[in-house]
Structure 1
Amino acid sequence: MRTHQLVLTWIENELSAGRLMVGGRLPAERSLAEQLAVSRTSVREAIRILEAMGVVRAGVGSGPEAGTVVIADPTAALGSALRLHVATQHLPVKDIVETRVLLESWAVSQASPDAPGLRNAAALLAGMDEPGLSVDEFLALDVQFHLALADAAGNAVVSAMMGSLRESIQGYAGRLTANLPDWAATASRLMAEHHQILDAITAHDGGRAAKLVAAHIEGYYQEAGLGPSA
């Protein structure tokens, strides 16, 4: 085992055992290196890996922000990894869209009509109804709307995966707008579908909401040229 992996394994064991928790700090670099009998370079490498994975935040200097703090931000790391693999074309965008349909359909079918996320979704829809939004502004609100729907299911893993999937294809979805014959007409249709999805959830009709969200997502990509043969 490479020495930085020893550090990663130790931190994982500390987290699993509850001796290290979100908000807690790792031992100082020198102390951890001495404790595990590894070099400080190995400790730094392990911390860089964990920071990229969204597990820790490394601060420098002194004061309350100094030191390496355990955080919980899986979405950023998963989204970054997916974006890179999409860029290599190892993970086709079409497959990621299909996975998103599966996850989001399940999420809206399980969403609680009383979930706080749905109040947030309604507020986001109100913002999207404002006239004069640019394409980028509309798509940014669209991302937040769909994440709010996923959060309403109350499943932390699905929320994290949905966030990473949306992050990995958000830029691609924006570029696809160039393929649309009439963005204003598409935006109007998407808004109407958003309202229908939210209405189905609040009416306790998860089955209908799931069908609506699947047709909503697939319809946009097919209209933009990402059909089965694309």
Structure 2
Amino acid sequence: MLASEIMTREVKTIGPEATIDEAIAMLLSTRVSGMPVVDAGGRLVGVVSEGDFLHRAEIGAARRKPRWIEFLLGPGDIAESYVLSHGRKVCEVMTRDVATVEESAPLTEIVEIMEKRRVKRLPVVSGEHLVGIITRADLLRALSAAFAAKPAPTPAECTDKAILDRLMAELKAQGFASPRTLDVAVDHGVVTLKGEIFDERQRQALVVAAENIGGVTKVVDQLVWIEPFSGMTIGKIE
């Protein structure tokens, strides 16, 4: 899945010369937490968000570092903080170092950037021009569509043998549990998991793997956890 397939194309934007109160009014009226800043030519120049207004002087939240730290950092850092807390225009408080993606970016790249940069939205650009935006809500809509598009299993896929074969193939491919320590049985769509695990987290992963096989109606967990250091046998932890 690519950025062009999930992005929102009609993007609410604001100009860099807009005032702070205009930006706040737009964020409140559109019920978004941030928006791209574009110039008159449609070029992306920054992003302004709720976080840019947390430390404003008007509400007594301007941030100052201890004097000795300001002395070490120099006047530039003090000046920068002053602009963020007292600036009157969007261009004075917006984030300029904006992470972006092209329309051809795959979903894996989009999620990776969002996690790495800790951002809730990614502008989509063509060259320097904004063409869309991807938010976490867009990712949720893509996930919902993927669930809805998942085809129902065929009768041949619902046989006990087919279910068992697909489950064992999945376990082999993922590698979080060795099939040699497991005893998996399928009876009329009911999967019974028996055997030994050496990390309690394996239990949930095995159950999830079984639940995701088409044709499975129920998963019975009879796995036994063996604590690897002491060799103590422990049943399911509720």
- Tell me the TM-score normalized by structure 2: 0.29
1 or 2 for the larger relative contact order (CA 8 Å, sep ≥6)?
1
- Tell me the TM-score normalized by structure 1: 0.30
User: By percentage of residues, which structure has more helix?
Assistant: 1
